[in-house]
C-alpha cells in the first residue's frame, strides 16, 4: 500500500496543489482544512507524513504540532511545516517543537518535494528516494 500523507492547509488552492503533486507521485493523500480536522484525521488513520500549515483557523498548526509531539504513539510521525516567509518566528517555534522540516510559501513543486521526501522516515524509503531523485536532481 502506498504511503499516506495528510495535508493540513486551509487555503484550498494550496491544498489542491500539494495534493496534486503528491498524488502524481502515487502517494495516498487526504486533506484537512483546520487543526481540529487534522487531529481527527490522525486518530482515524496514522499518516506516514504530515504536511502542516501553521496558520490555521480554530486549532493552529503550532498547537497541532504540540499535541502530536506530546503523545508517544504519534510523536514520531514526520512533519513538514508550510510557512509563509514572513512567519519566521513560527518556523523557529515549530522546529523547536519537533517539526522535521519546513517549506516556505510560495514554493515550487521541486522544493516542496525535497522538503518532504528527505524526512519521511516511516515510509518505504526506496519510494521516497526515487521521488527525491526525480524532484531534487
Ligand atoms: Ca493558512
Predicted local distance difference test score (pLDDT) of residue 110? 57
Averaged pLDDT for residues 31-36: 96
Averaged pLDDT for residues 54-73: 93
Averaged pLDDT for residues 21-27: 80
Return residues with CB closer than 5 A to ligand 1 (ion).
10, 53, 55
Which of the residue ranges 10-19, 22-31, 98-107 would you say has the lowest mean pLDDT?
98-107
Averaged pLDDT for residues 45-62: 91
User: Taking 60 as the threshold, does the pLDDT of residue 88 lie above it?
Assistant: yes
> Ligand 1 centre from 41 Cα, in Å?
18
Mean pLDDT over each residue of the chain, to the nearest integer: 80
> Ligand 1 centre from 83 Cα, in Å?
8
Predicted local distance difference test score (pLDDT) of residue 115? 54
Averaged pLDDT for residues 105-124: 56
Predicted local distance difference test score (pLDDT) of residue 72? 93
> Ligand 1 centre from 126 Cα, in Å?
31
Share of the chain above pLDDT 90, in %: 34
> Ligand 1 centre from 35 Cα, in Å?
10
> Ligand 1 centre from 14 Cα, in Å?
9
Predicted local distance difference test score (pLDDT) of residue 135? 46
CB half-sphere exposure, 121, CA atoms < 13 A: 7
0.75 exceeded by pTM: yes
Predicted local distance difference test score (pLDDT) of residue 34? 95
Amino acid at each position: 500500500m502506498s504511503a499516506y500523507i495528510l495535508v493540513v492547509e486551509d487555503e484550498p488552492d494550496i491544498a489542491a496543489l500539494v495534493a496534486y503533486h503528491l498524488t502524481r507521485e502515487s502517494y495516498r493523500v487526504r486533506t484537512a482544512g483546520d487543526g481540529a480536522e487534522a487531529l481527527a484525521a490522525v486518530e482515524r488513520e496514522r499518516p506516514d507524513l504530515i504536511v502542516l500549515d501553521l496558520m490555521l483557523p480554530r486549532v493552529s498548526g503550532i498547537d497541532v504540532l504540540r499535541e502530536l509531539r506530546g503523545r508517544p504513539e504519534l510523536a514520531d510521525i514526520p512533519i513538514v511545516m508550510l510557512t509563509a516567509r514572513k512567519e519566521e518566528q513560527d518556523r523557529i517555534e515549530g522546529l523547536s517543537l519537533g517539526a522535521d522540516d519546513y517549506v516556505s510559501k510560495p514554493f515550487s513543486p521541486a522544493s516542496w518535494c525535497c522538503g518532504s521526501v528527505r524526512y519521511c522516515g516511516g515510509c518505504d524509503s526506496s519510494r521516497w528516494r526515487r521521488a527525491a531523485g526525480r524532484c531534487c536532481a
